[in-house]
Amino acid sequence: MVDISPRGCQTAQAARNVHGTPPRVVTEVAGYSRLIGGDEQGTLGRLRAIRIELIDPSIAAHNGRVVKTTGDGLLAEFASTVDALNCAGKIQAQMAERQVRGAPDVETGDRALPIQHARSR
């Protein structure tokens, strides 16, 4: 699980005070309904493993915290846009290594951008 210690909350609060809304990363599983329909227990187990082994450690390592989870995704806030972009890039690269489809999106406060587009701006 991601560390949601008071330090992390203060960091997100400081970012919110300076810029209005802290930088966010949104993840979602492509084809979730189809995957759940085909193998519910297997899909949930794989999703849980990816969260524990890859996503949560990446968020924590980049000064982020999970603020909301859904069945097939999550929303994380970060101390800076650089941290959010670096985290999303790391998650995307690690997912590609595992050959898992679906790239995290980066929300910059006014709109969400696919990470490959966010990097080029």
Pairing of strands 64-70, 73-78: antiparallel
Residue 96 domain flag: yes
Which residues make Cβ contacts (< 8 Å) with residue 19, sequence separation at least 6? 109
Q: Which domain holds residue 86?
A: 6-120
Residue 93 domain flag: yes
Residue 85 domain flag: yes
Contact predicate 63/11, CB 8 Å:
yes
Q: How many domains does the chain have?
A: 1
The CATH number linked to 95 is 3.30.70.1230
Q: What is the pTM of this model?
A: 0.68
Residue 100 domain flag: yes
Going from the C-alpha of 107 to that of each of 7, 27, 84, the distances in angstroms are 22, 10, 9
User: What digits encode the pLDDT tens for the residues 50-100?
Assistant: 899 999 999 999 999 999 998 888 999 999 999 999 999 999 888 888 775
CA distance 19 to 30: 31
Contact predicate 68/75, CB 8 Å:
yes
- The arrangement of strands across the sheet holding 24-28 comes to 64-70, 73-78, 24-28, 105-107, 112-114
Q: Which helix (H) or strand (E) holds 8?
A: helix 6-19
User: What digits encode the pLDDT tens for the residues 2-30?
Assistant: 333 333 444 454 444 455 788 999 888 88
Residue 71 domain flag: yes
Contact predicate 69/93, CB 8 Å:
no
Residue 1 domain flag: no
Residue 30 domain flag: yes
